[in-house]
Chains A and B, each alone.
Chain A
Amino acid sequence: MSSMILDAAEKIFARNTNIRSRHVFDVEHWAAVEASGFTRALLAEEAGGFGLSANDATSILRVSAKHTSRLPLAETMLANWLLADAGLPIANGVTTVALVDALPSENCRSVVATRVPWARVAGAVVVVARDGRIGSFESPRIVAQGMNFAGEARDDIELAWSADNFQTEAAPRLFDSYLALCAMLRVVGMAGSAEAALKLSVDYANDRVQFGRPIGRNQVIQHQLAVMASQVAASVAAADMAAIAFPLVMSDEDRFKTIVASAKVRVGEAAGICASIAHQVHGAIGYTEEYRLHNLTKQLWSWRDEYGNEAFWSEVLADQMFSMKTPSPWQFLT
């Protein structure tokens, strides 16, 4: 991971001081993020990006998650990539993504896409239909406003559902690949959240004195944090694995899906363990609104369920393996 990008990201995201997990879209903070060019980080140089590796590009999201930034960066990054991939012009401002598992048809006038991230502040929504066709929908009607645990907007929107609204024909890419792309971004975000929760917890265990010594001196606390550290290490490794696999979405979609599915299952499982240990180590202080641990654990609890939970992706993996001519775990893994 390039340290220059990390330093830049640290500087920009560290300004988030909003500890309460209520939805507030910080317009100025977002303007600073946009000015940094991070919204184009996934793009190739010729498409208006900086030629970053997917690992470097997604590391920005790890930093953003660590600071619980509550900004539509992952969505805008991906929306821009989808537009570029479809040969459409890149949008400015907040752009989000909606996956709609249906085909546009003559007789269905509109559909409601549920829990679309940040729709209420988005200038455009990049919509992917079941056959992979892409449409950029401007200012969709918000049917219901909602948010996830972490205070990120998750809105239901109404989309005029006719083929005319789409700018492309059916894409060569599978619908599942788009789902996997979204899942990949959540994987990276969870890895960043878990890393930050570990640091908070270890620092707290070293500072907090009970029974005349820091609680981190107790073997039982040490072992809990060791368990958490292993889960965090697995999460970060899974995020790396998924990010490294990103180019496969263009060359070997099945393998891309396998790798992202594995990462989402693994990190999703780690998320629950990490949140649980972090809160246990922190005691009551971590259960208050004024302390920032809950923003991290709320991200973990939200993102593990977005774009397919562990059960969903586990079944995807098993289906892939069992559909081999001779199902073999080792052949499947290698």
Chain B
Amino acid sequence: MSISFDPAPSLKEFGELRRQVRAHIDSALGSDFSSPQRARSWISADPEFSRSLGKRGWLGMTLPKKYGGQERTALERYVVAEELLAAGAPVGAHWVADRQSAPLLLYYGTEEQRLEILPKIAVGECYFCIGMSEPNSGSDLAAVQTRATRTDDGYVVHGTKLWTTNAHNAHYMTLLARTDKSDERHGGMSQFLVDMRTQGIEVRPIIDLVGEHDFNEVRFENVLLPPTALLGNEGDGWKQVMGELAFERSGPERFLSSFALLNELVLVLSDAPDRQARQAIGRLLAHLMVLRHMSQSVAGMLQRGESPTLQATIVKDLGAILEQEIPEIARTLVKVEGSLSATDSFAATFARTLLAAPSFSLRGGTREILRGIIARGLGLR
């Protein structure tokens, strides 16, 4: 009945790797890399930083060597990922590609697609965006209307994708489109590997409430894709994106989004933390400790080839609650009037985190969708 997490595997043996990643982050970003910058982390694109990780073998870590990977374990990948996120390193350029597009291609791609793209992901030179949501298909992903019509030359795509993070930096999109009429709600969809340079694709920026350009609207106007763009099997699109979402939801980014603010908060309080502050900070540490254990447990399950979809969903739901609590707690402990342009590091980091906070329980599946998934796991639907 209860959804069980296997005890988390120990990460002790990867201490050296952890130290190497920390040292690299420190030297690559330098002390000038500010706290508000760190608060942006995985939506902040810095191709040079991405390439520096590729050079050290920290991208595509779990991929087979023949595709440019390192054949390292999911646990080692986890260590690298959490160090990058905890430091707020600018990993936005490669994040999606490394996290979910590479495994997707490995499972469903043709040998040609794998050989061409995976090595580029592993060196930090190939970035991805995810073409799932649409103007009329947000949480209801099965309602996608973008259509890919088969022709003699391949597929002609027509439609609009929305809230597409990183589309303006990405070389490829994994596109979910309707290829067939189907009586089943989840049928008739397929996934495509779309070269973003293809003619007829238009990427328009959407500025978010932080005032930043993270996501986009991507329009497809009779875009001709070659037959080789099909990813996996025609009609299996739904199944494939569900597998992809398991990767998207399972990582430590689901509870570390506000970590830069927590660091700032501790810094401001460290001179003389009163009782209220110590209780609040101690509680946050306890939550983080347990979430990290759960997230490691998910990494362990991935390592054994299991598909911990429900567990990942729970980590994401709990993680988002905590991430959203941190700015609320910060403002009760430290007097602050937030401002993105503040020279005071705490005020600027607070502003950045607070304004981004609504997205924490929306992106990658809203809180309500996640709870529906958990309820199904409990046998309630």
Q: Which of A230, A240, A261, A310 has most B Cβ within 10 Å?
A: A230
**Distance in Å from the Cβ of B35 to the closest Cβ of chain A?**
13
Q: Is A291 an interface residue (CB 8 A)?
A: no
Which residue in chain B gives the minimum CB-CB distance to A267? B290
Q: Tell yes or no: A136 within 8 A of B by CB.
A: no
Inter-chain contact A240/B270, CB cutoff 8 Å: no
Q: Is the CB of A318 within 8 A of B375?
A: no
- Contacts A230-B374, A233-B5 given; indicate if A329 touches B279 (C-beta within 8 A): no
Is A225 an interface residue, CB under 8 A from the partner?
yes
The answer to whether A310 and B294 have CB atoms under 8 Å apart is no
The residue that A237 contacts in the complex, of B5, B280, B372, with Cβ under 8 A, is B5
Q: Select the stretch in A41-49, A70-78, A165-173, A195-203 that faces chain B.
A: A195-203
Check A222/B381 contact, CB under 8 A, given A229-B2, A237-B5. Answer: yes
Which B residue sits closest to A238, measured CB to CB? B290
Q: Which residues of B contact A265 (CB under 8 A)?
A: 282-283, 286-287
Within A153-204, the residues touching B (CB, 8 Å) are 195, 198-199, 202
A205 to B1, CA, bound (A): 13
A169 CA to B18 CA, complexed, in Å: 41
State which size class the interface on B falls in. Answer: 35 or more
Instruction: List, in ascending order, chain B residues with CB within 8 A of A244's CB.
Output: 7-8
Contact of A318 among B4, B262, B282, B318 (CB under 8 A): B282
Say whether B293 faces chain A, with CB atoms less than 8 Å apart. Answer: yes
Chain A residues whose C-beta falls within 8 Å of the C-beta of B3 in the assembled complex: 229, 232-233
User: Which residues of A lie under 8 Å from residue B4 when comparing CB positions?
Assistant: 233, 236
Interface residues of B in 273-316 (CB under 8 A from A): 273, 275, 277-294, 297, 311, 314
| Highest count of chain B CB atoms <10 Å: which of A198, A314, A318 | A318
- Contact with B2, one of A199, A221, A318, A321 (Cβ below 8 angstroms): A199
Bound together, the chains give a CA A234 to CA B291 distance in angstroms of 7
Residue A92, interface by CB 8 Å: no
Contact with B along A293-334 (1 / 0, CB 8 A): 000000000000000001101111111011000011110111
- Within the complex, what minimum Cβ distance (angstroms) separates A242 from chain B? 10
- Contacts A206-B380, A222-B375; A314 near B368 (Cβ below 8 A): no
A334 to B317, CA, bound (A): 22
Q: Is the CB of A233 within 8 A of B311?
A: yes
Please tell me if the beta carbons of A261 and B378 are within 8 angstroms of each other in the complex.
no
Measured between beta carbons, the chain A residues less than 8 angstroms from B381 are 217, 222
Q: Is B74 an interface residue (CB 8 A)?
A: no
Structural contact, B380 and A315, CB atoms closer than 8 A: no
Kindly list chain B residues whose C-beta atoms are within 8 Å of the C-beta of A208.
Answer: none
User: What is the bound-complex CA distance between A234 and B277, given in angstroms?
Assistant: 24
Given contact pairs A199-B1, A311-B279, A237 touches B289 in the complex (Cβ within 8 A): no
B4-47: CB near A (< 8 Å → 1, else 0) gives 11011000000000100000000000000000000000000000
User: Does A55 lie at the interface of the complex (its beta carbon under 8 Å from any beta carbon of B)?
Assistant: yes
CB–CB B297/A237 < 8 A: yes
Task: Give the docked Cα–Cα distance between A198 and B253 (Å).
Answer: 28
Which chain B residues border A206 with CB–CB below 8 Å?
Answer: 379-380
> B247 interface residue, CB < 8 Å from A?
no
What separation, in Å, do the CA atoms of A314 and B280 have in the docked complex?
7
Known interface pairs A233-B311, A234-B294. Does A315 touch B282 (Cβ–Cβ under 8 Å)?
yes
Question: Which chain B residues in 345-381 approach chain A with CB under 8 Å?
Answer: 368, 370-372, 374-375, 377-381
User: Is B210's CB within 8 Å of the partner chain A?
Assistant: no
- State how many angstroms separate the Cβ of B267 from the closest Cβ of chain A: 8
* A202 (CB) vs chain B CBs: closest residue: B378
Which of B8, B275, B318 meets A230, CB within 8 Å?
Answer: B318
From A55, A230, A313, A330, B286 is in contact (CB under 8 Å) with: A313
**Does A5 interact with chain B (Cβ within 8 Å)?**
no
Q: Is the Cβ of B266 less than 8 Å from the Cβ of A230?
A: no
The verdict on A14 contacting chain B, using a C-beta distance below 8 Å, is: no
Report if B259 contacts A (CB, 8 A). yes
Min Cβ gap B313→A in Å is 9
Query: Is A223 positioned at the interface, with any CB of B under 8 Å from its CB?
Result: yes
Judge if B137 is at the interface, Cβ distance under 8 Å: no
Instruction: For the complex, give the distance between the alpha carbons of A241 and B5 in Å.
Output: 11
A262 at interface (Cβ–Cβ under 8 A)? yes
Contact with B along A250-282 (1 / 0, CB 8 A): 000000001101111110010000000000000
Contact B289 A241 (CB under 8 A): yes
B86 within 8 A of A: yes
5 A-B pairs besides A198-B1, A234-B294 with CB distance below 8 A are: A202-B379, A229-B314, A230-B318, A233-B5, A237-B290
What are 17 A-B residue pairs whose CB atoms fall within 8 Å in the complex? A226-B378, A229-B314, A236-B4, A240-B5, A261-B286, A262-B286, A266-B286, A310-B283, A313-B286, A314-B283, A318-B277, A318-B278, A321-B282, A322-B269, A322-B273, A322-B278, A328-B266
